[in-house]
Amino acid sequence: GSTMTEFWKEHSRQATVEEMMLDSHAQELTQHELPEILSLLPRLSGQRVLELGAGIGRYTSHLLTQASHVTAVDFMESFVEKNRQDNSHYSNAAFLQADVTKLDFPKNSFDIIFSNWLLMYLSDEELTSLTERMLGWLCPRGYLFFRESCNYQSGDCKRTFNPTHYRSSAHYSHLMTTTLREESEGTEKQVFGFDIVLSKTVQTYIKMKNNQNQVCWLLEKVGRDTACQEGFSTFQQFLDNQQYTRKGILRYEKMFGAGYVSTGGPSTTEEFVNLLNLKPGKKVLDVGCGIGGGNFYMAKAFGVEVLGLDLSANMVDIAIERAMEEKLPSVSLIELLGLQ
């Protein structure tokens, strides 16, 4: 609470994009990052959007041109003021100075919630409480998009103290998908939760800063059938809870070699990949990338760019952690569940 206010008071004096992104290369990063992040959002036309932690409105104006209405929330008055100045000429905007930990809206107020670098400033307790409330604010099948710095700091601005929680991407995925909300319609009761549609590392930071720690998620609000808790409602849930638990994956890896979770491991990969005539600058999409061993091999041996794709969240989370260790700017990972 108060330490957070102090932190942002220190970093909101001029209400500039450099302060807000806590990075001296903010202008250049924004130019590449904005289109990348916006391209991951579901269709905005006709949608009611809630933007949490809107800052000075780096994304607000883009959301306003496409959505039917945008409510932009931030808790620093100077940021909200700057956003209002720049964007109040849009008739479909509302600007709100509020603390997200105390924020509330009526049920089904929004179709999409968008947030960029907000959840990492909340404790696990605050995050769980917010997730539960967001499930209420969204209409059924509504979307939540969020993006965070995972594992370690990425901006280069000096900070006297840093109140950020650098969680692993696995921690976010777990926290966001296990939080449930019960809603009653008359005598009917229904339980809702979030399903991951995709989670992905942000390319701009990989390419421009060789930084793998920026991860974003698109989640969908879905009904949970509590009666069949034993049966998993999606194939992805079955994989991550049954066949590919984190422990299980690491056990497979011990059997099949570092970076691999199936028979043949490195030798089969080498054999196949050598038939592909890969050259630097070529792009490879690896469908079913597992924990990324083949991706790292192709990137290192042939200088190609690789996008690894997998249905198992646990696999991708491990792959993202390994990619951070490998510091390979040419490998990015995505967990994709619904191909809309």
| Closest residue by Cα to residue 105 from 50, 142, 63, 159 | 50
Does the predicted model carry a pTM greater than 0.75? no
CA distance 81 to 219: 30
Q: What whole-number percentage of the chain has pLDDT above 70?
A: 80
User: Any idea what DSSP says for residue 115?
Assistant: E
pLDDT digits (tens, 9 = 90+) for 168-201: 888 888 889 889 999 887 888 889 999 888 888 8
CA distance 205 to 69: 30
pLDDT confidence band for 112 (50 / 70 / 90): very high
CA distance 236 to 216: 18
* Domain segments of the chain as ranges: 3-229, 236-335
Common-topology check for domains 3-229 and 236-335: yes
Encoded tokens for 70? 């945008």
- Vertex 94: Cα angle to 67 and 87 (nearest 5): 75
Mean pLDDT of 221-233: 66
Mean pLDDT of 25-49: 85
Alpha helices, H only, 67-161: 77-87, 124-137
CA distance 286 to 283: 10
Q: What is the chain's mean pLDDT, rounded?
A: 83
Mean pLDDT of 42-61: 94
Above 90 in pLDDT, residue 7? no
pLDDT confidence band for 146 (50 / 70 / 90): very high
Mean pLDDT of 261-279: 87
Second CATH level (architecture) for the domain 236-335 = 3-Layer(aba) Sandwich (3.40)
CATH number for 3-229 (one of 3.40.47.10, 3.40.50.720, 3.40.50.150, 3.40.50.1000): it is 3.40.50.150
Q: At 50, which helix (H) or strand (E)?
A: strand 48-52
- Identify the pLDDT of residue 14: 61
- Identify the pLDDT of residue 109: 97
| Closest residue by Cα to residue 238 from 229, 226, 247 | 229
| Closest residue by Cα to residue 138 from 214, 60, 54, 218 | 218
CA distance 63 to 139: 19
